[in-house]
């Protein structure tokens, strides 16, 4: 009889997909196909989409909206208050996470502040390895990899397909461009334009991310165009103003979508772009 009881209990738990030891606020909205494991804590104003798996001992605070088919591993802290001395309880503050993300153990992601749309946003298909920290008001795109212990200060923007190595630190308001690569331990305090490789403890732009571009199916002509743009901005400047170099690219490489993205990324920089090897 006791054996039948435990079999029935396990069947009910599998149907519900919510472990009985999980603590879930009455206002939380959890899709019937989501899985909430033992001792997870789901707070007020949290929404969890279909197929998402929340592992044991994870804490999710709200207002937080999590999309479909994410996997959040044990001891992650998602949707906590912004670590900002100007934030006051009761101010609008939100976190939105897209679909198909992998968020590993001990990651911390904070909600946004009223300084910048009251929103921290994580896109889809991202991999955040253990101990990654994403601060308030950060905006992440899609297909991003952040290796172990990479950390973002507030208001950082990371575009699609960027890769950050382990222990990379990014200063407030910096932007990391599309298809860029930041080497392990880099302390980033300026913007990294699209398609570039940055490396060093005090990093500089070293080259274009030709390996990453090849892996993602860029044509040889596109890669060559980006190489020429890199040389104009970082190697062959010959004392020209950056704006003059960008204008030259707009005239000579106007048929290259990738170069136009590169130029736009630099023109939209909020804190200035990282320097290159020619400045050493």
Active-site residue among 133, 136, 143, 179? Answer: 136
Strand, helix or coil for residue 44: coil
Query: What is the arrangement of strands in the sheet containing 29-30, beginning at the earlier edge strand?
Result: 29-30, 46-48, 64-66, 94-97, 119-122, 139-140, 157-158, 175-176
Is 239 an annotated catalytic residue?
no
Active-site residue among 141, 154, 177, 276? Answer: 154
Report which secondary-structure segment, H or E, holds 274.
none
| Sign of the alpha-carbon torsion through 182, 155, 108, 40 | negative
> Residue 68 gets which letter from DSSP?
S
State the chain's maximal CA–CA distance in angstroms. Answer: 85
Neighbouring-strand partners of residue 59: 41, 77
Active-site residue among 55, 99, 100, 137? Answer: 137
C-alpha distances out from residue 266 to 2, 124, 174, 249, Å? 68, 25, 12, 12
Is 160 an annotated catalytic residue?
no
Is 25 an annotated catalytic residue?
no
Phi (first) and psi of residue 72, to 5 degrees: -110, 120
- Give the other-Cβ count within 10 Å of 2's Cβ: 6
Catalytic residues: 136-137, 154
């Amino acid at each position: 009889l006791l054996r039948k009881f435990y079999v029935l209990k396990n069947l009910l738990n599998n149907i519900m997909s919510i472990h009985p030891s999980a603590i879930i606020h009455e206002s939380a909205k959890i899709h019937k196909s989501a899985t909430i494991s033992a001792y997870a804590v789901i707070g007020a104003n949290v929404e969890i989409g279909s197929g998402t798996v929340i592992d044991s001992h994870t804490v999710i605070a709200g207002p937080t909206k999590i999309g479909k088919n994410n996997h959040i591993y044990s001891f992650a802290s998602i949707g906590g208050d912004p670590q900002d001395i100007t934030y006051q309880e009761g101010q609008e503050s939100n976190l939105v996470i897209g679909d198909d993300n992998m968020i590993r153990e001990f990651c911390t992601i904070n909600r946004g502040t009223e300084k910048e749309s009251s929103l921290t946003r994580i896109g889809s298909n991202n991999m955040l390895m253990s101990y990654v920290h994403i601060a308030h008001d950060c905006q992440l795109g899609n297909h991003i990899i952040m290796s172990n212990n990479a950390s973002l200060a507030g208001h950082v923007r990371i575009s699609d397909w960027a890769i950050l190595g382990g222990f990379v630190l990014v200063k407030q308001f910096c932007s990391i461009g599309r298809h860029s690569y930041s080497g392990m331990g880099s302390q980033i305090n300026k913007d990294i334009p699209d398609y570039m490789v940055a490396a060093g403890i005090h990093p500089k732009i070293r080259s274009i991310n030709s390996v990453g571009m090849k892996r993602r199916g860029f044509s040889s002509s596109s890669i060559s165009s980006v190489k020429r743009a890199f040389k104009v901005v970082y190697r062959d400047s010959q004392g020209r103003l950056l704006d003059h170099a960008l204008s030259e690219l707009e005239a000579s490489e106007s048929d290259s979508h990738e170069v136009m993205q590169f130029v736009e990324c630099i023109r939209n920089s909020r804190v200035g772009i990282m320097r290159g090897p020619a400045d050493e």
